[in-house]
Amino acid sequence: MEAVLYRERFFILLLKVNEIRKRSSRSDTKNVPFVPFEKINHLTEFSHGPSRETSEGELITLSKGGSPAQHIYIKRSVQMNYIKWIAAAAAMVFVLSFSQPKADAAVLKNGSAGPEVTYIQSALQKLGYFYTDNTGYYGTVTENAVRNFQYDFGLAADGIVGVNTAEMLRNVDMLAHVVYGEARGESYEGQVAVAAVVLNRMESNEFPDTLSNVIFQKNAITAVNDGQYWLQPDAEAYQAVRDAFDGWDPTGGAVYYYNPYTATDQWIFTRTVIKQIGSHNFAY
């Protein structure tokens, strides 16, 4: 399943970025990250002597063409640029996964194994369908969890993750990111309401008709613009999405929501408010 594979690569890259961030804040030089020589273009100091760290930069161990390792001091800003480069690449990998052709999706079923299965189990666990540890092996427990998910989401309940099930899991995951990025800290009802607004937009002629296009429509979702969309959702966000897909709409059909105390676009205040839940106004 291509989309799942891209998803796994995304999280692996994020873990690498987080590790580099941690290391860049340390005062020692024992475990400094390896950076390919080709990535270094702003050197501040060169030394063949003992390893040490200056206040100007981090000590990076480099090697090229099989030559002995050399120690080069590189400005901290360069290392941070490298981190940003990885993060941008990770985000691009994840976004590109949305456009993968359906025909490329692999089938996961009883007997399958690997990181794709781990991802499926993790999503099902947060949705309340999978109650044991993630093993990466697609056995009877996973099959039953998939079947229950399919039944609740209106899919053919065959216990196999094919194209349609994979797409629905991806949609649930994307919407959970919106809920967590936009409404974490709000009441549970407020989180379901945000999910419901996104689903209402899919049904409206004024918005795109696919979930990914609704979410990534230019300037449509604040969390996408400020990067909070990429935070890892908690189980409550997934549960809120599940309830919204199940038909709960606390907003009564709203297609907009905003915080009246932080909104800067005056146009949003021209919308008719249906309901206020927590810090958000819901409108059409």
Query: Using one digit for the tens of pLDDT, what is the confidence trace for 261-275?
Result: 999 889 999 999 999
pLDDT exceeds cutoff 90 at 278: yes
Query: How far, in Å, CA of 201 to CA of 207, rounded?
Result: 6
How many Cα atoms occupy the beta-carbon half-sphere of 91 within 13 Å?
Answer: 14
Query: To which H or E segment does residue 258 belong?
Result: strand 256-258
Q: Which two tokens stand for residue 122?
A: 């993790």
Inter-CA distances, 190 with 90, 197, 228, 269, Å? 30, 11, 17, 19
Mean pLDDT of the chain: 76
Do residues 60 and 33 touch, judged by C-beta distance below 8 A?
yes
pLDDT score for 16: 45
Answer with the residue of higher pLDDT: 168 or 105: 168
Residue 62 CB coordination number (10 Å): 17
Residues in a beta bridge with 45: 73
pLDDT score for 39: 34
pLDDT exceeds cutoff 60 at 118: yes
Provide mean pLDDT across the span 224-243: 97
pLDDT exceeds cutoff 80 at 282: yes
Query: Using one digit for the tens of pLDDT, what is the confidence trace for 131-164?
Result: 999 999 999 999 999 999 999 999 999 999 999 9
pLDDT score for 130: 97
pLDDT exceeds cutoff 90 at 255: yes
Do residues 183 and 194 touch, judged by C-beta distance below 8 A?
yes
Query: Using one digit for the tens of pLDDT, what is the confidence trace for 3-21?
Result: 444 444 544 444 444 444 4
Q: Residue 106: pLDDT band by 50, 70, 90 thresholds?
A: confident
Provide mean pLDDT across the span 89-113: 61
Does the pTM of the predicted model rise above 0.75? no
